[in-house]
């Protein structure tokens, strides 16, 4: 009888010890695995210029491959969106396809490439060059037929950029006109809309990123870049400083960038992405 009680007592004690040990092991395992189970992945949101976005997206893909656990969301919407989102904390980094203005001193700009703005027409149009005065008169509605500038008897379809696009701002500044003076047939947003419109309308004329236009021509899209002031609209002429309508492509942050944003910006300005800049027909700064 005494033996049975002692045995029962020993068994109960052993069971309690095993239970405590099991709970302790479970706690250790949970603590040990918790960083892996609940750790958040690094994430960056970048918004803005449709000119800068394709290049930034390619840089982001390369960055993600070499920085495991990082996810980068690239969204377009124009340079104005890039400025506003960076200012309001809606994006970690904004994309702006122009130099920052004096009124934007609260932002820091980081140049990642150079580009130009080129006039494009349908590739069936025999016109290869226009003077600044001719371009200005076309956009002001003073010239309405291609025959007036050495082309076919064909009505001119004027393609203009929407408000908030830095390409529009630079175009207006270069030609010394106000947007309210322009007589557009079509108003478009990003570069791809401009390419699509001009390639689909034989009488159309528009202006887009030179890098985008060169890329599309290489792909066989039926557009043609016009010579401006005697200089071909090419990345090469942007690089040598001869093309008259060029700009910087920038990433911007409000104040000093976060550690993660700075790391990405440094990568975007490094030699590791020069092949991506050239692939997009932009120029490394």
Residue 41: pLDDT band with limits 50, 70, 90: low
SS3 letters for 48-60?
ECCCCHHHHHHHH
Domains of the chain are 42-114+249-279 (3.40.190.10), 116-239 (3.40.190.10)
Q: Provide, rounded to the nearest whole percent, the portion of the chain with pLDDT above 90.
A: 82
- To the nearest whole number, what is the mean pLDDT of the chain? 88
For residue 5, the model assigns a pLDDT of 34
Judge contact between 187 and 158, C-beta under 8 A.
no
pLDDT tens digit string along 190-239? 899 999 999 999 999 999 999 999 999 999 999 999 999 999 999 999 99
- CA–CA dist 63, 89 (Å, integer): 22
For residue 6, the model assigns a pLDDT of 39
> If we measure between CA atoms, which residue out of 78, 105, 106 comes closest to residue 94?
78
Mean per-residue pLDDT, 265-274: 97
- CA–CA dist 203, 145 (Å, integer): 9
Judge contact between 254 and 83, C-beta under 8 A.
no
Please give the full DSSP string across 77-144, using - where no structure is assigned. Answer: S-HHHHHHHHHTTS-SEEEESSPPPGGGTTEEEEEEEEEEEEEEEETT----EE-HHHHHHHHTTS--
For residue 233, the model assigns a pLDDT of 96
pLDDT tens digit string along 235-247? 999 999 999 999 9
Residue 42: pLDDT band with limits 50, 70, 90: confident
Residues contacting residue 171 through CB under 8 Å, at least 6 positions apart = 117, 161, 207, 245
Q: Which two tokens stand for residue 132?
A: 């600044």
């Amino acid at each position: 009888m005494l033996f049975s009680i002692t045995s029962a007592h020993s068994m109960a004690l052993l069971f309690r010890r095993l239970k405590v040990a099991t709970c302790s092991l479970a706690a250790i395992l949970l603590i040990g695995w918790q960083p892996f189970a609940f750790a958040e992945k690094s994430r960056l949101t970048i918004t803005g210029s449709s000119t800068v976005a394709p290049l930034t997206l390619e840089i982001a893909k390369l960055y993600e491959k070499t920085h495991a656990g990082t996810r980068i969301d690239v969204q377009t919407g124009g340079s104005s969106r890039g400025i506003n989102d960076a200012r309001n904390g809606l994006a970690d980094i904004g994309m702006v396809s122009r130099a920052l203005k004096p009124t934007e001193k609260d932002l820091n700009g980081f140049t990642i490439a150079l580009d130009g703005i080129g006039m494009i027409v349908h590739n069936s149009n025999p016109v290869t060059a226009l003077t600044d005065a001719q371009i200005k008169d076309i956009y002001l509605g003073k010239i309405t037929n291609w025959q007036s500038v050495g082309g076919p008897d064909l009505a001119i379809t004027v393609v203009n950029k929407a408000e908030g696009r830095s390409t529009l701002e630079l175009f207006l500044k270069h030609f010394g006109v106000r947007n309210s003076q322009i007589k557009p047939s079509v108003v478009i947003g990003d570069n791809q809309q401009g390419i699509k419109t001009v390639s689909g309308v034989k009488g159309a004329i528009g202006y887009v990123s030179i890098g985008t236009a060169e890329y599309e021509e290489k792909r066989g899209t039926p557009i043609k870049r016009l010579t401006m002031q005697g200089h071909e609209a090419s990345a090469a002429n942007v690089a040598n400083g001869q093309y008259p309508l060029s700009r910087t492509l920038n990433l911007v942050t409000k104040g000093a960038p976060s550690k993660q944003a700075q790391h990405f910006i440094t990568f975007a300005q490094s030699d590791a992405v020069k092949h991506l800049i050239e692939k997009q027909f932009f120029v490394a700064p």
